[in-house]
Amino acid sequence: EVQMLESGGGLVQPGGSLRVSCAASGFIFSSTAMSWVRQAPGKGLEWVSSISGGGFNTYYADSVKGRFTISRDNSKNTVDLQMNNLRAEDTAIYYCVKRWSYLDYWGQGTLVTVSS
């Protein structure tokens, strides 16, 4: 069974940093691209970042470029999103998602709240 389990969300002050992680299982992780998608409270979906299976290719939305870094550890089947210089508008549920292109399996998400 394909599963993604996110962790690391919480409350952080504007300008602060936070790292969210995703533990994946049930598929061949090292050959599968992974993505992060976020959803602000009561709003729609926003693609944030993706990383190729080998980790050599990374992509970012303009809204987070230069502040967020996606990485993966294929020995542990994990993918992380390091978020720096956080802003109030980064407040959202962050979903770990299998694949880029169409997104076929989603975790339950972890809530990141940026507030003083």
Minimum Å distance from CB 65 to other proteins?
10
Residues that bind other proteins (CB under 8 A): 35, 37, 44-47, 49-50, 57, 59, 61-62, 95, 100-109
Tokens for 17, please give them: 């940093």
Compute the least distance from the CB of residue 16 to other proteins, in Å.
26
3-state class (DSSP) for residue 111 = strand
- Contact (CB, 8 A) for 45 and 39: yes
To other proteins, the closest distance from the beta carbon of 69 in angstroms equals: 15
CB 74 within 8 A of CB 30: yes
Phi, psi dihedral angles at 24 (to 5 degrees): -110, 150
Q: Which is nearer to other proteins, 23 or 103 (CB)?
A: 103
70 or 83: whose CB is closer to other proteins?
A: 70
